[in-house]
Amino acid sequence: MAIFITVHHPDMNETIKYDYRAFQQIWDPNRIDGRTREACTRCRDKRAKCDGRNPCRRCKNVGAECLYMKPRIFTGKETEPREPKLASELFHEIQHIERALEQLESEMEQARAHKSVAPAASGTRMLENFYPSPPHSDEEDEDNQHETDGEAESKLVRGHYATTEKNSWSITFDKNRVKIQTDIQNIHQLYELFTSAYNLYRGPTTASRPVGTHAITLRLNCQWPKLHESQRVQFIRPVSSHPPNPQIDYSILAITLEIELHWLNLILKQATQCSPSARNKFCERFQVYYYSNQRPQSSHYMAVLYAVAALHAQHVISHHIDIAKAIAFPHGVSADEFARELSKLYFQKAQELVIDTIFDKSDSLCADTVDALHAMIGYLVSEGKANKASAYICITLRVATQLNFHKALRDSNKTDVEVEEYENAITWNLLACSDQALTAMYGAPRHTTPTDTQLNLLGITIKFPTEMPEETRQRIHESFFMARLSAISRDILDTFWGDSVADPAVDDIERFAMAFARWEDELPPFLHATGHPFSSLTSFFLTVNLHLVYQISLLDLYYPFLPGIHPNPESLPSDAPKQAERAYGDAAIMAVRLGCSYVLAGGCAFPPQACTFPVNLFPMACNAHMWLAEKSKDKEIRDRHRKYVAFSFKVITETREYKMQRQFFEGYGKIVKAFMKNEGIDLNEDSMLDEIECIVPERAPGVGW
């Protein structure tokens, strides 16, 4: 028997003329006798015969309104404007169908032959083994796409297309449908066809990529609006830490060149200890300059020093130097106001040097120019000048482009890279991420695209010079593994909180957990928090900071699976939410341990908020404790994290920034205090905690800190 399969084209609904008699035969068109050749709308919907009267017999019997469609008047041969294009598209689709059907028939013959040899095998299982994805040729597609509409129409003979090699498949189509006629002779062959087609694996609809191939060296939760809205505490925009006092005449502060250079040295020396981030790559060079007491001859590097001093001056003077004993101020001027004026002076100095380089000596641009501009952007953000910071980002991107920073590590086949090329790639990624973060935070104009942040570090090996100091190697390794970690976190956030994503699945946890495990296994020994001696406190702080970010990334992984957060909890295994709660809590506790280890070792409790739009890691861990203390249905988990909320509040209130009523710390402290009051958490509830085991750094032999 012949089987007819009708395939309706998706574009054949309203734009193509509807032929009523194609599926229902009413009265003979040659015998009108006052009757209409079209059925009324009710008979048409029910696919019933209509006598053509008004009202017709069927509508009259049920008392329904009998309506007829208005007749269409044709003045000549009607031409559908999309018909040539549609015919060409249909022809290409028919070619694909024909090739697939021929392949299917060939494989069915093989399956039948195999079945005759091994009759005891399961037919369905055997067919699955014989039906891989059909081969697809890009060259054939390109050839087909280059065919003109005329060539396509020349192959459409009376709406019929037949195969040239075999006559077992016949494909007929018109403007309304596609009809496929096969040589299937019995119901068993039809069942075999449908069964095999159902089990065909066609592969994913979109090409997948490995986890962790797009680094994002700077990110804010507000870049993912869905995640941002789900957070208990929204991101607090930085504002000027020390706004000017309009009642004070700051011109009375006579800052001489001697005072300027004296404080420049003090601020830079302390800044290298306060912010142990890989972005401060000026540290090693500054140490040489500081201890040799030689002023650098390069105006480019002096611009870097002034810009970094402008960024850190207010923090260093306010929190690390007893300035009252060092200098006498005029009446009414405080240390904070002196620090603000000093920062302003350093910024102006850096600005003059950078402008001279860009406009007068553009042929001498170098990496120092980019570093200076980047530090100046941080200063402007700390002062709440987002629009000006956006303009400086635009300038910095242009300078970096002129130096070809945007081309670094763009060769996908390269595996061994020099240190300079790697640092250029990281700097470009950081600039592009800063631009996009500033847009998300303030709505400033964007100067980059998502492709500017697609930095893939998987499989990359950095070639270090043999004479490079160990601490420099560690700093570069820390930035390398931090960037790789950020790529995994970015994939997590895109998967769970993107614009159009599916519900989080347990398989996603396994996939990202494997990526984290691979990342952790590849860490060099000197980037492990324990089991390795450290040559300096800075190297210890770098390691602790890296692992603290890792724990925050784990919080991002498990957060979507918590009860009340997952949009469709019925789709998860019954024990998945509870397991996610425990893993989420363990990561939050480890983050607190690392934070305490950092503070107890003498690190600056909270690096300055202006440092390149930092994510405040400790408050993220505190948010996790508050969520579990309030919403967990497990009493043991809830009680445990109530204690950690009390402990976290004490850590916040004991910082110098909180005591000095800095905006972020004071505001966040009020949020935690209000939460404790609402939940009935006692301030001393953390006393019931077991002693928190902090990490004590092991000193390398012969090293004194």
Element (H, E) at 323: helix 323-326
Average pLDDT of the chain is: 75
- Domain annotation covers residue 519: yes
Residue 165 burial (CB count, 10 A): 7
Rounding to the nearest 10 degrees, give the CA dihedral for residues 686, 687, 691, 694: 50
Domain range spanning residue 620?
502-705
pLDDT tens, 406-440? 999 987 778 899 999 999 999 999 999 999 999 98
Residue 351 has what pLDDT? 95
Structure tokens, 35: 């009757």
The total number of structural domains that make up the chain: 2
- Measured CA to CA, the distance from residue 74 to residue 81 in angstroms comes to 16
Q: For residue 249, what pLDDT band results from cuts at 50, 70 and 90? A: low
Last residue within a domain, chosen from 148, 167, 186: 167
CA distance to 99, 354, 574, per residue, from 159 (Å): 19, 72, 56
| Any domain includes 349 | no
- Please state, in angstroms and rounded to a whole number, the distance separating the CA atoms of residues 352 and 621: 42
Neighbouring CB atoms inside 10 A of 90's CB total 21
Lookup: tokens for 609 = 């908020």
- Cα→Cα distances 431→363, 377, 385, 438, Å: 22, 10, 17, 11
Could you give phi then psi for residue 173, rounded to 5 degrees?
-145, 155
Q: 514 in a domain, yes or no?
A: yes
Tell which of 167, 187, 213 closes a domain. Answer: 167
Nearest CA among 653, 652, 635, 639 for reference residue 681: 639
**CA dist 614 → 13, 204, 533, 596, 611 (Å):** 54, 37, 28, 19, 6
641 found inside a domain:
yes
pLDDT band at 319 (very low <50, low <70, confident <90, very high): confident
Would you tell me the crossing angle of helices 635-653 and 663-679 to the nearest 10 degrees? 150
Tens-place pLDDT, residues 48-73? 888 888 888 888 888 888 888 765 44
Please report whether residue 478 resides in a domain: no
Q: Is residue 565 part of a domain?
A: yes
Q: Among the listed ranges 137-146, 204-213, 343-352, which one has the minimum average pLDDT value? A: 137-146
Contact 456, 483 (CB under 8 A): no
Residue 676: both structure tokens together: 């404790």
**Cα separation of 266 and 273, whole Å?**
11
Boundary (domain end) residue, out of 134, 167, 200: 167
What percent of the chain is modeled with pLDDT above 70?
A: 69
- Residue 120 located in a structural domain: yes
What is the arithmetic mean of pLDDT over 126-139? 36
180-207: b or e for each residue (b if 16 or more CB lie within 10 Å)?
bebebeeeebeebbeebeeeeeeeeeee
Tens digit of pLDDT for each residue in 341-399? 889 999 999 999 999 888 877 778 888 899 999 999 989 988 888 889 999 999 999 99
Stated length of the chain: 705
287 belongs to a structural domain: no
pLDDT tens digit string along 584-603?
999 999 998 888 888 778 77
Stretch among 269-283, 313-327, 649-663 having the lowest mean pLDDT: 269-283
